[in-house]
Chains A and B, each alone.
Chain A
Amino acid sequence: KAGVTQTPRYLIKTRGQQVTLSCSPISGHRSVSWYQQTPGQGLQFLFEYFSETQRNKGNFPGRFSGRQFSNSRSEMNVSTLELGDSALYLCASSSLLGQAITDTQYFGPGTRLTVL
């Protein structure tokens, strides 16, 4: 089974621009979560999508948004980029057949975003 894939792997943008990151979950997985990883902050939860609906949201400003398509692929968008948005953005998928959040999350390699 192919793992979680994220594109692009690296991205350089300037302040004020917007960016869209893509995530393809493991085949059959319906839940996709997004995380931001910065040094000293660990993995900060952004949001989770399940069957095209946002089920959970972290404490990030409205500039961060996402969506999920019918094939479970997900995109994350950040508008009006700020220097502090430079981070590794990780996507994770899980089967999440029920409401249990004990299903193991499988992570992609991440997209390294640098904002200049």
Chain B
Amino acid sequence: GQNIDQPTEMTATEGAIVQINCTYQTSGFNGLFWYQQHAGEAPTFLSYNVLDGLEEKGRFSSFLSRSKGYSYLLLKELQMKDSASYLCAPRNQAGTALIFGKGTTLSVSS
């Protein structure tokens, strides 16, 4: 079966660092994507990991451990505009479609 687990909600303050964890179980594995989605808007691509380790992209970094079925998204120097849902989406080996969890809603306050 397929299962993705992320915290439902997180809160943080401007300028802080926050880590959003994701654990997953899929039928095979073909990489993991992180997307950001503001309410009522389209998901926008943040990062892609297929090998173990950390991928850094500006204020955002994403980490993957395939053996543990675990990933996290690290957001640094938080800004108010980072308030959004963050979706962890592994891709199983069989197909090319993404499997989305329900996402983590992050609220950033001043």
A binds B: no
